[in-house]
A and B are shown apart, each in its own frame.
Chain A
Amino acid sequence: MDQTTQSTTHGSAPTASRRSLRQRGRTVLRRAIALFTLWLSVHVAAMLWFGLHDDLRPADAAVVLGNWVEADGSPGPLLKVRLDRALEVYHARLVKKFIVSGATWGADYNEPAAMKRYLIANGVPAADIIEDEFGSNTYHTALNARITMRAREIETVMIISDFYHIMRTRLAFSLAGIDDARSAHSNLPPQWGVVYWIGRETVAFYRYLFHDYRAQGVIGR
């Protein structure tokens, strides 16, 4: 191969082989980009399918994943639409109870408390809302949900979050030993942030997939 290359490129051999190397490099790169794009579109397609295709079979409890809470204790815009979706399935009697899972910070910032308050204000009995104050990320939410389910004899749950978050949440739940979760997505108003969130979720999904959480020894069936 080297021979032919050299003989066809009259004289300036090193430049030519460099050029062909560059060409080959470019082909490889082009193929890599094509593969990456293909993989990305398959991934995003799966994310959209899991996120937008709600599974509304009745469940014992809905697990609502926390998000930003305003200073006055009312849910931020993302959390509000999640809670509204939760209330829709509750009032249609598709779920009987709630696990509200989120982060707390100091004495004043409390996502589960804010979620509970919003649900009570819209007709859910306080006694049917279980607060998980240690749901600072999706994985912890899943683990704590598993523990709560055992303690409270909850057999089936419905995940409630934004559409781009549902697939990773399902993964986290199955890592925690909760299979067959139902899911429903919130009615997010269209916004550019979604593009960023989809990107972030894509990376986070593989972090969850390849991190050996089982090795942490917290999970068991």
Chain B
Amino acid sequence: MATATATSSSVILRTTSLHKTYRMGGEDLHVLRGVEMSLQKGEWLAVLGASGSGKSTLLHLLGGLDRPDQGSVLFGGEDIFANGSGGVDRYRNTTVGFVFQFYHLLPELTALENVVICGMIGNGVLAWPGVRAKVRARATEMLERLGLKDRLHHKPSKLSGGERQRVAIARALAHSPALLLADEPTGNLDANTGGQILDVFREFHRAGQTIVMVTHDARVAAAADRRLTLEAGRLAGA
């Protein structure tokens, strides 16, 4: 924790006492009870915790998918929720890349097309050949970097679980987000294939990628620079 706060200039992401309560039926579930954390640029943080401890909830707040009831998420010193829904949409679409346990690739498209279509519509100019070529080149580069050179034109149904997850990672990183948020990225994979996904993370991390990864598996968390555990709604160093 001391290193994280030492040089405030290199802190990329910080939260102030995050609270989140879910209302289920008639009952309130106070999941996050004052979560404080800060993350250095280029750091790889793992958040551990039992099932139901609120790891995913925290990740959703960090990525602007959901809003905290109290407290704020500061990226580069700015509150991501301060500038209305347009601001948080921009943050989510340009600054963050998400990877989840399941891949949700469109089965009608090839691996390459799955990555391209995202970037194309993100650009807004579907028919502009210049953009198209650039997006395509970038998608190809990402997939090749992820070891999918021979799989570019395969449909998801012809890919293994690990390969599908790598396509999803390519899609998440194609727009070069400053922050990669991953929720149990190896949760649906066997240990061996999960290890390959962690190798991919390691490689991007070495190249400077900042990562927050949520997992309940201590062996997976061991790959990160630093581990925090979510317990009783708060984060503690591990």
Residues of A within 8 A of B (CB): 54, 56, 58, 73, 84, 87-94, 107-108, 120-127, 187
Contact of B117 with A93 in the complex, beta carbons under 8 Å = yes
- Which B residue's beta carbon lies closest to that of A89? B106
Counting chain B CB atoms within 10 Å of each CB, which of A56, A87, A93, A125 scores highest?
A125
A9 to B: closest C-beta gap in Å: 67
Which label, helix, strand, loop or mixed, suits the secondary structure of the A interface?
A: loop
Instruction: Tell whether B154 is near chain A: CB-to-CB under 8 Å.
Output: no
Chain A residue at smallest Cβ distance from B119: A93
Q: Is the CB of A92 within 8 A of B106?
A: yes
Q: Is the CB of A127 within 8 A of B85?
A: yes
A108-B65 in contact (CB<8A): no
A122 to B60, CA, bound (A): 10
Interface residue from B85, B92, B122, B183 paired with A93 (Cβ < 8 Å): B122
Contact A107 B65 (CB under 8 A): no
Residues of A within 8 A of B85 (CB): 127
14 examples of A-B residue contacts, CB within 8 angstroms:
A56-B108, A88-B105, A90-B104, A91-B171, A108-B25, A121-B100, A122-B100, A122-B102, A122-B104, A123-B100, A125-B65, A125-B88, A125-B89, A126-B65
Measured between alpha carbons, how far is A124 from B109 in the docked complex, in Å? 21
Decide if A123 touches B106 in the complex (CB within 8 Å).
no
Contact partners of A125 in chain B: CB under 8 A: 64-66, 88-89, 92
Q: Which residues of B contact A (CB under 8 A)?
A: 24-26, 56, 60, 64-67, 85, 88-89, 92, 98, 100, 102, 104-109, 114, 117-118, 121-122, 171, 183
Measured CA separation A58–B120 after assembly (Å): 13
State whether A58 and B171 are in contact (beta carbons under 8 Å apart), knowing that A88-B106, A91-B106, A107-B26 are contacts in the complex.
Answer: no
Q: How far is the CB of A88 from chain B (nearest CB, A)?
A: 5
Q: Specify which of B66, B67, B100, B118 is in contact with A92 (CB 8 Å cutoff).
A: B118
What separation, in Å, do the CA atoms of A202 and B56 have in the docked complex? 42
Chain A residues near B105: list those with CB within 8 A: 88, 91-92
- Indicate if the CB atoms of A126 and B106 lie closer than 8 Å: no
Q: What is the CA–CA distance of A84 and B88 in the complex, to the nearest angstrom?
A: 25
Known: A93-B122, A108-B25. A126 touches B104 (CB 8 A): no
- Chain A residue at smallest Cβ distance from B85: A127
When distances are taken between beta carbons in the complex, the residues of chain A under 8 Å from B171 are 91
Q: How far is the CB of B121 from chain A (nearest CB, A)?
A: 4
Residues of B with C-beta under 8 A to A90: 104
Give the distance to chain B from A130, nearest Cβ to Cβ, in Å: 14
Interchain residue pairs A-B with the least CB separation, the first 10: A93-B121, A87-B104, A107-B25, A92-B106, A108-B25, A126-B66, A88-B106, A91-B104, A123-B98, A125-B65
Of chain B, the residue at the smallest CB distance from A187 is B107
| Alpha-carbon distance A73/B22, docked complex (angstroms) | 13
Q: Is the CB of A73 within 8 A of B24?
A: yes
Q: Give Cα A21–Cα B56 distance, bound, in whole angstroms.
A: 74
- Residues of chain A within 8 A (CB-CB) of B121 are 58, 93
Instruction: List residues of chain B with CB within 8 A of the CB of A89.
Output: 106
CA separation between A122 and B100, bound complex, in Å? 6
* Bound complex: CA A187 to CA B108 (Å): 12
B65 A92 Cβ-Cβ under 8 A: no
Interface centre among B89, B92, B106, by most chain A C-beta atoms within 10 angstroms, is: B106
Measured CB to CB, the nearest residue on chain A to B104 is A87
Cα–Cα, bound, A90→B109 (Å): 14
- Give the residue name and chain of the B residue nearest to A106 (CB): B25
Contacts of B107 in A (CB 8 A): 88, 187
A84 adjacent to B102 (CB under 8 Å): yes
Nearest CB of chain B from residue A164's CB, rounded to whole Å:
19
Residue contact B25 to A120, C-beta cutoff 8 Å: no
Chain A, residue nearest B181 (CB)? A123
**Complex formed: what's the CA distance from A92 to B98 in Å?**
14
A91 to B60, CA, bound (A): 16
**Residues in A whose Cβ lies below 8 Å from that of B118:** 91-93
